[in-house]
Structure 1
């Protein structure tokens, strides 16, 4: 088509979520037609993000600050921690503007099929945060999947002895649904409709 550099660019772009080979070819062509306006700024932004962005030591969010801008914000309600499966879910809740407390990113869900065990997730770090004594409520904002429900049940059992209130997101999250693909209104309804876990 146009040399190994172009083929390599298309191959890398095609690995991005939601980007197949045809979309990758179109994106590569657009960037290559105006490299100074499209490709070089993108390359610089990618390099800067790769060098600066790290997981927050407190919650697991991705940011160039540690603690992240959410954990460092003094206006956040430090008595509520919203537990999410991944950073995409955290970003979705922030985009919807429905949670004003802190977060905790588990890094996945328990899964017998994929072999994900409690020690593979950041459950110990969550329990350590709660032991600090500032937390009064933990919201389990996990997807309505079998693995999400299993993880929520396990976490509720682990959190019960701490004395914090444990709630789960309620209506609005469809069975089999992932938080990061839901619209803002559905996320808001789910968080408002949380219930005891």
Structure 2
């Protein structure tokens, strides 16, 4: 096959690296962008540049934010005595959609996974323990809302064991969620029910 545009080919190759995007989808996106006005494409490009430049991690909970601390951590109306522990920042968005949880969050940034050489020191467990030791905002309950897969289970058990040394009630979201399913793919009603019927660890 003879390539008529090296620039288009490079764009297709880069787009094909996006999750869930194969070469054919990348080609359709690239051709679609070619047909758009310069202004529209430049707006998209600018938003991607700003995404990398301006978005950062909240120094308190670890979610992504434009301002530090994030709007959830700085919201005085949120319950300070309840922390929901999640794997990734997108889980915060999913839980927030349910309007079921009104406390604070703690994003681990992954799970313990020996096969991937990810241990407890590679995720934000130490920061969670520091938050629990902070007397300025006493924590009464820690909700473990990790994905119900092998890594999520291992991480939940590890955190639960550590929290036995703290005066805190450890709960987990209920198992109305199928094993092996990630929070990202669960509908809001199921997730809302899981929060409402959580049990002690």
TM-score by length of 1: 0.95
SS in 2 for 1:71: coil
**Higher mean C-alpha displacement, 79-88 vs 12-21:** 12-21
Q: Which runs of at least 4 in structure 1 moved beyond 4 Å after TM superposition?
A: none
> 1:15 is matched with which residue?
17
CA distance in 1, matches of 2:22, 2:99: 31
TM alignment of 1:173-184, pairs within 5 A: 173-184=177-188
- 1:163 pairs with 2:167: yes
**Which residue is 1:84 aligned to?**
86
Q: How many residues align?
A: 197
2:55 corresponds to which of 48, 53, 56? 53
Residues 156 and 49 of structure 1: CA distance in aligned 2, closer, same or farther (over 3 Å): same
1:61-140 equivalences under 5 Å are 61-133=63-135, 134-140=138-144
Which stretches in structure 1 are left out of the alignment for 5+ residues?
none
Aligned to 1:27: 29
Quick one: distance in 1 between partners of 2:66 and 2:11?
26
Q: Which moved more, 1:36-45 or 1:84-93?
A: 36-45
| Deviation readout 1:137-167 (Å, 9 max, x if unpaired) | 1000001111111110110011121111100
Work out the CA distance in 2 between the residues paired with 1:95 and 1:4: 43
Report the alpha carbon displacement of residue 38 of structure 1 after superposing the two structures with TM: 3.3
SS in 2 for 1:77: coil
Question: Structure 1: how far apart are the matches of 2:170 and 2:99?
Answer: 21
Structure number with greater Rg is: 2
Could you list the per-position Cα deviations for residues 20-48 of structure 1 after superposition, in whole angstroms to 9, with x for gaps in the alignment? 11111111111110133531111011111
Asked if structure 2 preserves the Cα contact closer than 8 Å seen for 1:82 and 1:102, the reply is yes
Instruction: Answer whether contact 1:171 1:189 (CA < 8 A) is retained.
Output: no
Alpha-carbon distance in 2 for matches of 1:114, 1:105: 19
Are the counterparts in 2 of residues 141 and 168 from structure 1 also a CA contact under 8 Å?
yes
> Whole-Å Cα distance in 2 between the matches of residues 6 and 164 of structure 1?
56
CA RMSD of aligned residues (A): 1.3
